Amino acid sequence: MNELGNLKIAVFGQGKMGLPLASVFAEYGINVIGVDINQMVVDNLNNGINHITEEPGLSELVSKNVETKKYTATTDGVSAATDADIMVILVPTLIDDRGNIKLDPVYSVSEIISKGLKKGNIVITEATMPPGTTEKLIPILEKSGLKLGEFGLAHAPERTMTGTALRDIKGQYPKIIGCNDENTYQIVSKLYNLINKKGTIQMSSIKAAETVKVFEGVYRDVNIGLSNEMALWCEEHEINALEVFEAANTQPFCHFHTPGAGVGGHCIPVYPWFVINTSNEVNPRITKTARELNDYMAHHIVELTIKGLNELKKCLNGSNVLVLGLTFRGGVKEFMKSAAIPIINELNSFGANVYSYDPLCDESDFERFNSKLKTDFNGIDAIIVTSDHEEFKYLDFEKISKEVSTKLIVDGRNIINISNATENGFRVIKVGNLK
């Protein structure tokens, strides 16, 4: 038994983040109830079947935790809240196409928790939310008849990403914690110290803890935006941006990221909106501009393709274009704000014949995103790399050069071995390097 005794935790949301967290708690001997609205997910989990397959080690952990009876799953959130001492909210927090924040799942889970909340319980939000959101849950949770103080409230952001969640949860970074009072912090920090070897950082308020995670995302988006802007400048001046970034980054105050086709996923392109849409007096110019620039990069990739085809005396209209990668990043089957989507749509609007390939996708995905699956390079006039899947880093250009109609590659992720491609007669255009 762990030092937290017979503590029971309910984790609401058994997706890419919630399931790894619930599984790690159970691994460390805590009794865990995983709550999800998806009946199929819950049924599979109760049979020891993991649905987040891109997470190394998670399948083994899920089946082990079900076997040891440390983990069960349910769709009945009220009974889970009634049974549990600590409730963790880890459901999606999204934005619509105009950046409007959608927090409905967080509010609806809070309503459910209020129906089972008891004196001495603690509610922890781990989902990333606009600063101030956790405290907005107080009136909902107080529908239980309890006042804040009779139950504890905390924010402890999930600082991880799909593919490395188990490693990160167990101690890649310290756990940030903000609580409503010291007593709550003592319990919550004990909980996370049990599973996280890097320990905890106590923030002076819940809102400050929420801000940490949001700012981490904003920093990345703005840094990528800056790198993209400098890459565009390098293109204009016929300089290789990557060469410059690499040299500049040897100085400790310089941290240029890799420029590319855009910023995707549920996190980095979303969190800047949590700042932009909650600013009343400040105009967050840099944050907005970076967002706009990063979204613009997909269009730039199409422009680079037109430029490359023109050089080779071809026109985009009627050309066969192969887009390599539908997912927003390598190794993860997630399409949210993937650069491939606007790129494919724009190529179609210019009359190109658009094909695509992605090792993680099935036929329905290619149709859904308005392209045709192609598993070879026959007759292709332009190859565009949009995801950094491992297999795209090692393309056999000698073989490919014999299949394509036109030898053009537009590398939107800066992963192609340029010398190998050029040796085989390809014109290679990279974001930030047109030479």
Contacting positions for ligand NAD (CB under 6 A): 12-18, 35-38, 41, 90-93, 105, 108-109, 127-128, 158, 160-162, 266-267
CB nearer to ligand NAD: give 196 or 433.
196
Angle at 179 between CA 173 and CA 182, to 5 degrees: 110
Q: Give 59 or 108: the residue with its C-beta nearer to ligand NAD.
A: 108
CB 326 within 8 A of CB 370: no
Query: Smallest distance, Å, CB 361 to ligand NAD?
Result: 17
Alpha-carbon distance of 413 to 261, in angstroms, equals: 6
Return phi, psi of residue 206, to 5°.
Answer: -65, -40
Report strand pairing: 86-89 vs 94-95.
unpaired
Residue number, 62 or 242, with CB nearest to ligand NAD: 62
Give the angle 291-295-297 at the CA atoms, nearest 5°: 125
Smallest gap from residue 209 Cβ to ligand NAD (A): 13
Instruction: Show the tokens assigned to 417.
Output: 């071995």
Q: Phi and psi at residue 72, in whole multiples of 5°?
A: -135, 160
The verdict on whether 213 is a catalytic residue reads yes
Residue closest to ligand NAD (Cβ): 15
Q: Is the dihedral of CA 14, 16, 17, 21 positive or negative?
A: positive
- Residue placing its CB nearer to ligand NAD in the complex, 206 or 354: 206
From the candidates 16, 70, 175, 267, which is the catalytic residue? 267
361 noted as active-site residue: no
Strand partners, 385: 324, 411
Minimum CB distance to ligand NAD, residue 3 (Å): 27
Q: How many CB atoms lie within 10 A of CB 87?
A: 28
Minimum CB distance to ligand NAD smaller for 195 or for 312? 195
Question: What are residue 301's DSSP bridge partners?
Answer: none
Q: Closest approach of Cβ 16 to ligand NAD, in Å?
A: 4
Q: Indicate the residue among 92 and 342 with the shorter CB distance to ligand NAD.
A: 92
Q: Does residue 70 contact residue 32 with C-beta atoms inside 8 Å?
A: yes
CA distance 155 to 165: 18
d(CA 253, CA 242) in angstroms, rounded, equals: 17
Q: Indicate the Cα dihedral angle 368, 410, 408, 383, nearest 10°.
A: -20
Smaller CB distance to ligand NAD: residue 165 or 340? Answer: 165
Tell me how far, at minimum, the Cβ of 201 lies from ligand NAD, in Å: 17
| Least distance to ligand NAD, CB of residue 207, Å | 16
* 3 state DSSP class of 9: strand
Question: Which of 213, 337, 407, 430 is labelled catalytic?
Answer: 213
Name the minimum Å distance from CB 357 to ligand NAD: 24
Burial of 347 (0-12, 13-18, 19+ CB in 10 A): buried
Q: Give the residue among 155, 190, 221 at the shortest CA–CA distance from 28.
A: 190
User: 114 vs 128, which CB is nearer to ligand NAD?
Assistant: 128
DSSP 8-class letter at 153: E
Separation between Cα atoms, residue 150 and residue 303, nearest integer Å: 59
Residues with catalytic roles = 213, 267
